[in-house]
Structures are given as structure tokens and as C-alpha cells.
Chain A
Amino acid sequence: MSGLRRRIGIVAAAAAGLLGVAAHADPAPPRIVVGAKKFTESAVLGELMAQVLEIQAGAAVERRFNLAGTQICFDGLRTGALDAYAEYTGTGLRNILRDETDTGTAAAVFARVSTAFRERFALVWLAPFGFDNTYVLMMRPERAAALGIATLSDLAAHPLRYGVSHEFLQRGDGMPGLRAVYHLNEASTVGVEHDLAYQALADGTIDVSDGYSTDAKIVAFGLLTLRDDRHFFPPYQAAPLARADLFTRVPLAEPALRLLAGRIDDATMRRLNYAVEGERRSPAEVASAFLGELGLRHVEATPEAPAGGLLELLWQRRWITASLTVRHLWLTGIAVLAAVVIGLPLGIAASRSPALATLALSGAGVLQTIPSIALLAFMLPLFGIGVVPAIAALFLYGLLPILRNTVAGLRSIDGRLLEVGRGLGMRGRDLLWRVELPLAAPVILAGIRTAAVINVGTATLAAFIGAGGLGDPIVTGLTTTDTNLVLSGALPAALLAIAVDAGLGVVERFATPRGLRV
């Protein structure tokens, strides 16, 4: 009996230790959170902003990169989870402001979003970087030539297979608007991950896809970009978008970011993108080298990362991996702890009420069937981006195994033992603490173990909403098609899952009452 309490105490102490690891307080320098969307250019611009803030404003910059889309970045900015990220004026106009009016010049669009964002959201557009990354539709040149297609107006004459990015499929300045203006003749339309669309075009499995005009892959794959003859796509000048309060909090941030204004033209941006995607250099490295070119940083003898093998990469990243692992464990630890705190009492209550059991188990069961990435997405409107929605989603995933095993463990106890307990004069709580929980402990712990292993796996997806962890290198690696980088996150994540499973297996055995082991 006191044994069970002692074991619970040990588990609680271990959890508190995990929390403690994450509770390091930052010292003096102002903290700025810079975000980036989940594609190369956004990451390079994010790195440029982050590094210039570090060097010129002396800030401690936290990077929340690989965020899944515009909505997530924009919500992050509004809720204060982010301080700044690089956004495109056309996206701000069409996608955020839902302004479908005629676009006008680049300067006019910038002026319009500038005013509207400041008034409606207290967000500030700084001067653009200097390039216009508009949307383009792309085809294989041979296919286009065969059909006689050169402009977007030409598309209406031919039934074609469209494969466009998921965001383009939905946003007003994407497919819906194109259909209305150009009367597209779609034989089929599917959503394709942006980076995969190029390969699909090259393979001929789709005919038309969307791209960004500064995308290095357009050149690499030798694709034809169709002329926007009715000027449907607004100008997409990239510029730093920031919370107004950033500049009052860190006055040096604004002059620092302005150092980048007008310094990157289309060709430069394409070159920087190619450095990441073609030359397999990290966005951080590319940004650092470019700031060196601009004379904005002392050119340090940055160790050129040799294009070594996987083992070399794993060794180089060992400290990064260690800190990502700690964060990963922290995310899952808190989520599992919360699932225990809620799931255990709920399971106890449910084991006594068949109606509640049905309700709770089917509710948790439904949650379990929601795909993880969708569940993460549901959390965004509620909690913004970052750690909180990730933990909330992981918590919901952990709930079912714990709830189910608590109910099953308690129900599996021989009813005669409970009757004897009552017959000896035990109250309900005596029975629970002295008989039911000790006897159900192995089953309940097996549920906690399942929840923890599921969460270690699912937490890799948390990187998509900026929560960090071992998913970070996976997502970055997927974006830059760097398999080794993917593995540098995936391997530790898999090992971690195995270790957590084995470790909790030991705890489970330890918590099994000795009398049940003989």
C-alpha cells in the first residue's frame, strides 16, 4: 500500500526533473521569436532576419521555422508566439485581407497592406527585401509546345491534369481565383506537396503545377513558366512582417531589419535558394555567408560543412540532437503527465459507471482516429502555434490508452476480493487505494507506456507547428530533400521510442505488486 504511494512519488519526481530541465531562464539579451514557413526561401529569409537581429540588435533569437502555412505564421504573430517573419505583400492582400480588388503596382499593394495591417492587426510591414516572388504556373516545355500553350489564357482550351500545393488549392489567389479569371479546363486536380510537384511534372504524372518565380527548381528542372496575361497574380514582394510592439520592446530591431531592405533582387534570391536546395547547405549557413557579402557580419572562418556521410552528420549534430531530444522528452513528458492526471481519475469514475465509460471511451476513441497532423491543426485556432497546441494534441492522443487501460484494469479485478474488502469494513477510498489501484497498476502502467510511446512518435509532427523537438531536422530535411538530415532526426526519435518503451517496461515490472509476480 505505502509501496504504491512511494512508486507514484518516484514517477512524480522524475516528471518534475524533466520540467526542471526545460525551465532554464534566459539571461539579459532581449528575446525575439522569428518564424518561417515550411519552404526554403522562407527559411533563408527567416535566417537572414534572425542573424541580422542577433548581430545588429544583440537579440537572443528563437527560431520557429518550418511552420505549416501562412495562417499559422499570421496567427503566431497576432497571438505573440512570433515577433516577426518574412511575408509576401500579395499573400497579405489576397490571403489575409481577402482583398480581391484590382492589384495595381507593387508599391500600391505594399501601401495597401501596410496601412491595413497596422490599423487592423497592429502589425508592421518593413521595406521589402527587393525581389518579387509571384506565383507562376509551370509546365514541361515539350508538353506546352505540343499543345501550343504559352499564357494562362491558353490553358482553357485543353483538359489538363493539375497538381498544385495544398495551400494554392485553397487560397483565394490560387485555384479558385484562377478558375474564375482563366476558366481552367481541369481534367483532374490534386493537392501535392510543393517539393514533390516538380518531380511529378518531370515524370509527366501531372501537366500543370504552381511555383514561385524565385524558385531555383524551375531552372533546375528546366520548366516553362506561363505568362499571366491578365495580371491575375498580384505582386508578391517579400518583406519582414513584425508585431508593432517588437519595435518598442527592442528599439534596435527596426534599424537592424531595415539593413536588409532592397538588398536581395530576384537573381540573388534564386541563388540563395539554390545554395540550399542544390548545394545542400543549411539556410543558416547560406544566410551567414550572404550577410558576410553584404558586410553585415564579420566573416568568420565558419567551418565548411563537408558533404560527409550520415555518421559524420550525426556526430556533428550530437549536441543539437541532445538538446532536441531533451525538448522532445519534455513535450511528451508534460503531455503524458497531463493525460495521467486527467485520464486516471476519469478512468476510475468510468469503471464505476457504464454510461460514463461508454461516453469517455468513445470520445477518446474518436480523438484517436483523427490523423495526428489534423489534430495538431485543430489546436491552432485554440492555442496559436508553438508548444502549447502540440502538448494539447499529444495530451489528447495519450488520453485513450490511459483511460482504456484504467477502466480495463479496474474492471478485471475479481469482484469477490472487492466484496471481501467491503465485508472487512473498507470504505470506497480504502478499497481504491489499498486494493483496486495496486491490483490494476500493471494494466494502468501498460496504458501509460503505450501513451508515452505513441507520443514520442507523434511529437515529431509537432515541428510543423513550431514546437521543436526531433521533428525539426526531419521537416527541414524533407523540405530540402536532405535524407541524412531527415535521418538525423528520425533515428534518434526511433531510438527514443524504443528506450521509452523499455524504460517504462522496467517501471511496469517494478510497479507490479510482488504477490502477482510469483
Chain B
Amino acid sequence: MIELEAVRKVYPDGHVALRSVSLTVERGTTLALLGPSGCGKTTLLKLINRLLDPSAGCVRVDGRDIAAVDPIGLRRTMGYVVQDAGLFPHLTALGNVEVVPRLLGWPAARRVARARDLFALMGLDFSALAGRYPAQVSGGQRQRIGLARALAVDPPIVLMDEPFGALDPITRRRLQEEFLTLKDQLHKTMVLVTHDVEEAFRLADRVALLDDGAVVQVGTPAEIRAAPASPFVAALIGGGATASP
């Protein structure tokens, strides 16, 4: 379970990214952080794996304040996926998936066996793709490899920042379908950053709407549709498929 309590984040240049945010993600559920560019959703995500530290307030994972936890160990319990996968271009698909297992010192046989399972889980042909470099595979394959890398050591938590943002609509749709299937199989606690309303509502159990560094509304997709908390929310969810300007 992830809890944020009165979290505030001010950047060194004075920009206030988050005002006072409190949120809870229950174990095994997916929370979408939805909002326009610059609303603070990516900042919020990075506070959870301590790529950033809050200026005030606290973040707890399974009841422990993570400010007191070694960030390296913490991050190794959290998968991390970014837009266009963020694969290391000098490593093969297999090499990318093996990154965290190598950090943990797994023997080669175990790493490869795990990678085979993950390739299968993600619908990737191991024998064809394991030796290819990121520049040699399609965008959809890259994203699958990125997801496999995030799941490599079976972390209880997965953080995703616009994971499907760089894909064409058809591939995005297919990956979203597969994501839903995976979600039911894996029971991870997941936080998904997106500016795509439809994506948030399809994939998440609960959605947090952010605007200008503050949470405007939190609820299940059905709750939000039924009772938008403000004209901003109504405009956002009614105004079309995407929240980007």
C-alpha cells in the first residue's frame, strides 16, 4: 500500500509542483494520475521511488516512511516504466531485461530463465528478439521489453509514466488490452501517469485528477463520471478523449 500525506514539492527554482497532496493506493490496485501537462503528476510519481524527495509531508509504503529507507533498495522493489520504454540503446533486449537481476547478482542461468518467462508473458518471441538492440525492434516491442524489464525481479509495485504515450493508436489499443489481462494475472500495486482520459478510465481501478499541483478529485471511473467534482473535471472527462491542451 502506498500513502501520500500532505505532500508538497517545491523545486529549487521556486516552482511549486505539488501543493498539498494526500492519496492512497491500496495493495493490488491500479491508480491513474490524470491531468494536463505540468499538473504535477510525473513529480508525484517520482516521489514514490525517491527520484525526488518531498519538500514537506511524507510518503509511506506498507506503513513505512520511505524517507528513512535506502533509496537503492526501495527502487529495486518497484518496477519503473517510462514513455518509449527508456531502454538502454547499447544493450540487447535480453540485456535490458537482465539489468535489475544483474544488480541483484543473480546467476546467468536464473537471469535467462526469468527473461524467457517474461518474454513469453509479454508475448515476445525470445529466440527472435533477445539478441536485438532497441533500435532494431518496433515501438510496441520496445514498450513490451520495457515492461518486462520493470517486472524482472517481480517487484510488488510498478510505476509507469506515460507507458503507451509514444505508440500509434492501434498498437496502443492492443497493449492496453494486454495490460488489463496482465493486471488481473499479476496483482501488482500500480501507479500509472497519463494525460489520456480514456486510457486512465479503462486501465485504472481508481483515478486521481490533478490540476496545477493539487488533487481535484479521486474515485473510481464510475464515481467520477457520475459526479464530477468541478467544472474542470466535467470539462476534462466530457471534452473528449484526451486532457492535453
Contact = CB atoms under 8 A, between A and B. Distances in A.
A438 interface: yes
Contacts of B1: none
A424 B90 contact: no
B80 A423 contact: yes
A205 to B, nearest CB: 61
Contacts of A438: 90
Nearest to B75: A425
Interface string B43-60: 000000101000000000
B226 interface: no
Nearest to B133: A515
Contact of B80 (A420, A427, A514): A420
Contacts of A417: 86, 88-89
B199 to A, nearest CB: 21
27 contacts: A417-B89, A419-B82, A420-B82, A421-B88, A421-B99, A422-B75, A423-B49, A423-B51, A423-B75, A423-B78, A423-B80, A424-B149, A425-B72, A425-B73, A425-B74, A425-B100, A425-B103, A426-B72, A426-B103, A430-B103, A434-B99, A435-B90, A513-B89, A514-B133, A515-B89, A515-B134, A516-B90
A421 B76 CA distance: 11
A416 interface: yes
Contacts of B80: 420, 423-424
Interface residues of A, number: 22
A516 B82 CA distance: 20
A192 interface: no
Interface residues of B, number: 28
Contacts, number: 74
A439 interface: yes
Interface string A385-403: 0000000000000000000
A355 interface: no
A424 B99 contact: yes
B92 interface: yes
B89 A427 contact: no
B72 to A, nearest CB: 5
Give the residue among A424, A426, A427, A435 with the most B Cβ atoms within 10 A: A424
A205 B114 CA distance: 84
Contacts of A416: 82, 86
Interface in B59-78: 72-76, 78
A3 to B, nearest CB: 9
Contacts of B89: 417, 439, 513, 515-516
Interface in B71-128: 72-76, 78, 80, 82, 86, 88-92, 95, 99-100, 102-103
A518 interface: yes
Given A424-B80, A425-B72, A435-B90, 4 more contacts: A423-B51, A430-B103, A513-B91, A514-B90
A435 B99 CA distance: 10
Given A430-B103, A518-B133, A422 B51 contact: yes
A290 B165 CA distance: 88
A515 B135 contact: yes
Given A420-B82, A422-B51, A513 B75 contact: no
B244 interface: no
B86 A420 contact: yes
Nearest to B150: A424
Contacts of B76: 424-425
Contacts of B150: 424
A424 B135 contact: no
Nearest to B149: A424
Contacts of B95: 1
Contacts of B99: 421, 424, 426, 434
A438 B90 CA distance: 7
Contacts of A515: 88-92, 133-135
B136 interface: yes
A417 to B, nearest CB: 6
A419 B100 CA distance: 14
A427 B159 CA distance: 19
A266 to B, nearest CB: 73
Contacts of A514: 90, 133
Contacts of B88: 417, 420-421, 434-435, 439, 515
Interface string B192-236: 000000000000000000000000000000000000000000000
Interface string B129-154: 00001111000000000000110000
B5 to A, nearest CB: 23
Q: Which 6 A-B pairs have the closest CB atoms?
A: A513-B90, A515-B133, A423-B80, A425-B76, A425-B75, A420-B86
Contacts of B135: 515-516, 518
A318 B102 CA distance: 53
Nearest to A422: B51
Interface string A122-141: 00000000000000000000
A427 B72 contact: yes
Interface string A1-30: 100000000000000000000000000000
A1 B88 CA distance: 11
B133 A424 contact: no
B75 A424 contact: yes
Contacts of A513: 89-91
A428 B86 CA distance: 18
Give the residue among B49, B89, B90, B135 with the most A Cβ atoms within 10 A: B90
